A and B are shown apart, each in its own frame.
Chain A
Amino acid sequence: DAGVIQSPRHEVTEMGQEVTLRCKPISGHNSLFWYRQTMMRGLELLIYFNNNVPIDDSGMPEDRFSAKMPNASFSTLKIQPSEPRDSAVYFCASSLEDRRNQPQHFGDGTRLSIL
């Protein structure tokens, strides 16, 4: 079965540019999560969707960050304008929220470098 698919795997861009990260969750999953990982702060949750609706965006660092989930099979995380401190690995995860307490499954991440 296909897992969570993220693109691109690597992104290098100059500061000030817009960056768009993409995620395709596992088919049938109804929850989607965006995380960011840095050496200093470890893995942090940015935003969480359930049934395509943002439920908790308290982890989004600032207004330069936005996330959308237009349908059950696609989500984007956008940074505009990007800054060097946004450099990190960004992970997307999905799960099936039901009574059986299903685990989250992660993609392989997008390694973002802002110069």
Chain B
Amino acid sequence: DAKTTQPTSMDCAEGRAANLPCNHSTISGNEYVYWYRQIHSQGPQYIIHGLKNNETNEMASLIITEDRKSSTLILPHATLRDTAVYYCIVRVHRGSQGNLIFGKGTKLSVKP
């Protein structure tokens, strides 16, 4: 079973920030938080990951709470092309225990 809880769906206006929450209250000290998204008919796309510090890249920002029990993925200026299912996943560093376990994710709809 997935170790994360996400809302089933969210809407966001084009050009606004999209804030996608994720709860992972049972996360272990050696588990990272990963975010992927899947646009219709495509393979999952890696977005960002982090351990305990906030992270930012060209796609998004990841904010992890101090207790690491929840996190938020931020798309600063959502576009229509960001409409996708977003998956929050926790995994250890390597080995078979590090395989991705996908839950149902959050379906983000960016509207004009």
Task: Give residues in A with beta carbon < 8 Å to B.
Answer: 4, 33, 42-45, 48, 55-56, 91, 93, 97-98, 101, 103-109
Contact = CB atoms under 8 A, between A and B. Distances in A.
A106 B44 contact: yes
B57 to A, nearest CB: 11
Contact of B32 (A56, A101, A105): A101
A42 B102 contact: yes
Tell me whether chain B's interface is mostly helix, strand or loop, or mixed: loop
Given A101-B49, A106-B44, A109-B43, A56 B93 contact: no
Contact of B43 (A42, A56, A101, A106): A106
A104 B102 CA distance: 13
A45 B100 contact: yes
A43 B94 contact: no
B37 to A, nearest CB: 11
Interface in B42-67: 42-46, 49
Nearest to A6: B43
12 contacts: A4-B43, A33-B99, A43-B100, A43-B102, A91-B44, A97-B95, A101-B32, A103-B46, A106-B43, A106-B45, A107-B43, A108-B41
Contact of B93 (A33, A43, A101, A108): A101
Interface centre among A42, A43, A55, A106 (most CB of B within 10 A): A43
Contacts of A33: 99-100
Contacts of A97: 94-95, 98
B75 to A, nearest CB: 18
A16 to B, nearest CB: 28
Interface in B88-111: 93-96, 98-104
Contacts of B45: 106
Interface string B14-52: 000000000000000000101000000111111001000
